[in-house]
Amino acid sequence: MAYQDWLFKDHSSGWRIRYRRDGRGYEVSQDGHGWHPVPSVTQITGLLNKNLHEWAVRQVVEYLKGELVPGLVLTPEEVERILNGASQAHRMASQAAASRGTTLHTWAEAYLKGHNPPWPEEEPLRSMALGLAEWWEGNGGNRLLSEEVVFHPGHLYAGRVDLVAFLGGRVVVLDLKTSPRAYPEHLLQVGAYALALREEGLPVDGGLVLALREGLSVAEVPLDEAAEAFLGLRRAFDFLRALKAIP
């Protein structure tokens, strides 16, 4: 990996963090020479992501609904085509969802920095953006940090926070999701980010998950409980990784 492919951050604890420009992969060092990978927050919370399996099944079902008609006689070649399409349905839907998520995050970051980006033209992104802007302005939000890389030196994990803001008299971590609602793993993500930010001295005292797919849905995160649950999952992550290393 070329040096220019990494971005760097010096942590208040003395550690140095480097992470890839594409947002994947975190490594840390105490001397700037020996680098060690650490898991990301989303890698760890991925242990809970059973919703993803249920979602993938739904994509296959929806694909088959569009291909299968009662009474339709299929040739062996058509059966093979439909089965191949069904096997790829979740990947195609995932790529589309990832693209929407990236576009929304890029727009939201520019908007929250006061750059007045143009409104997305396509749905559902336009509705998502309008919903976020209406909520933000209605609550008098004031951005403190966006797309900030965080690291916890005691528990050795890293991640990137969508937004930290002064909102309603509190310093709040906000996580933007292009899902219809907040899922348990989203709450744990916010707890993990808040724990890491507090380690850096930022007095975080609130957390919100903003789910944008079907109109704005705001979920308040019980930070202390979510952080405690995340640390339990962090230990489970190491346990499972150690099991895989056993011959």
| 43 φ/ψ sector (left φ>0, alpha ψ -120 to 50, else beta) | alpha
Helix (H) or strand (E) holding 131: helix 125-138
Residue 130, both tokens: 């309008």
Tell me how crowded residue 118 is: count the other CB atoms within 10 A of its CB: 8
Tell me how crowded residue 133 is: count the other CB atoms within 10 A of its CB: 16
Name every residue whose Cβ is closer than 8 Å to that of residue 242 and which is 6 or more positions away in sequence.
Answer: none
Query: Comparing C-alpha atoms, which of 193, 158, 157 is closest to residue 175?
Result: 193
pTM here?
A: 0.78
Place of tokens 């690291």: 151
Q: What is the pLDDT of residues 197-225, one digit of tens each?
A: 999 999 999 999 998 876 788 999 999 99
Q: What is the pLDDT of residues 78-125, one digit of tens each?
A: 778 877 777 776 666 555 655 666 788 788 888 887 888 999 888 888
Peptide bond into 37 cis (omega under 30): no
Query: Comparing C-alpha atoms, which of 68, 43, 17, 71 is closest to residue 192?
Result: 43
CA 230 – CA 227 distance, rounded (Å)? 5
CA 72 – CA 118 distance, rounded (Å)? 47
Q: What is the pLDDT of residues 5-41, one digit of tens each?
A: 889 999 999 999 999 876 678 999 998 889 999 999 9
